[in-house]
Amino acid sequence: MKIAYYPGCSLDTTGIEFRLSTAYCASKLNLDLWELPGWNCCGASSAHSKDHLLSLALPARNLALAEKEGLDMAVPCAACYSRFKTVEAEVRQDEKVQQQVAHAIDMDYKATNNTRSLLEVFAGGVGLEQIESSVTKPLTGLKVACYYGCYLVRPPKLGHFDRAEDPQSMDNIISSLGGTPVDWPHKTECCGAGMITLSPNDGLPLSYEILRVAEICGAECLVTACPMCLMNLDLHQETINKKLKANFNLPVFYFTELMALAMGASPKEIGLNRHFVNPMPLVEKIGRRETA
């Protein structure tokens, strides 16, 4: 299966593990990810707070490049994904918008192709069966809180692949890897997004809540598909512990990292050493459970 691939800015910096583990899984699952040459930033949450047309044009240029090749586009980062889905919907709905966007990017873009979140590509395209049959080191006994956050599922009118409340796709992947997704109520709560840095007193309690509830529900770790969520829950976990007098020690993974581990990747080749909350004690524990 061949699909255009838009990694997004985070996957070269804060989300480098996401890039490494995605590449590993793609090669194991015969998924041909064709990285768009010269891709640009989607504008993130800044463009839509500044100028509506700019927030459409920046993602549209990338989609137009994929459309020219007749390809759908896979997007790992949940935040980028939501920007692409927004443009796609607006261009399909309104011819005037389509023309404005085409003029701004100086390219045709008719939204005949689809943006697909990498989670959807693996859970729905490649399929759970193939994932299950590629597992060599099952995540036996690992209790995982699948954290979807905001952008994979909201707002539903954009036509997402999973439901807006209580989504399932990541839970299904974890089950296919032999792990145990925990039942918990905070799958789609907001982590505080940019407010964690822009207004920490208001933002930090949101990530705190997610960690707290995951822990009470018995999770040993969280998984996500969003570099922003991961940064808030992983990099800022120490700050949360300090400022909100907590004592969390919950590793946070990209779902592709757990897939890669179960398919036999070494922790280092997929960047597990780059986490801030050290996941290695837990990873070693999975190994021991498996041999026990």
Per CB under 8 A, residues contacting another protein are 9, 12-14, 16, 37-41, 43-54, 57-58, 61, 82, 100, 103-106, 150-151, 154-156, 164, 189-190, 192-195, 197-199, 201-203, 206, 235, 273-276
Distance CA 232, CA 224 (A): 11
Q: How far is the CB of 69 from another protein (least distance, A)?
A: 16
Taking the least distance from each CB to another protein, the nearer of 107 and 128 is 107
What are 184's two structure tokens?
A: 């918990």
Q: Residue 57 or 263: which CB sits closer to another protein?
A: 57
Choice between 66 and 206, CB closer to another protein = 206
Bridge partner list, 223: 146, 253
Residue whose CB is less far from another protein, 122 or 148? 148
Q: Which of 4, 14, 5 is nearest to 254 (CA)?
A: 14
Q: Which is nearer to another protein, 14 or 175 (CB)?
A: 14
Least distance (Å) from another protein to the CB of residue 79?
A: 10
Closest distance to another protein from the beta carbon of 192 (Å): 6
CB of 126 to another protein, least distance (A): 27
Alpha-carbon distance values, 237 to 2, 57, 208 (Å) = 37, 35, 8
Distance separating alpha carbons of residues 273 and 265, to the nearest angstrom: 13
Q: How far apart are alpha carbons 131 and 25 in whole angstroms?
A: 9
Nearer to another protein, 39 or 147 (CB): 39
DSSP line for 228-286: HHHIIIIITHHHHHHHTT------EEEHHHHHHHHTT--TGGGTGGG-SS--HHHHHHH
- Work out how close the CB of 273 gets to another protein at its nearest, in angstroms, rounded to a whole number: 8
Least Cβ distance, residue 246 to another protein (angstroms): 18
As a whole number of angstroms, the distance between CA 258 and CA 262 comes to 6
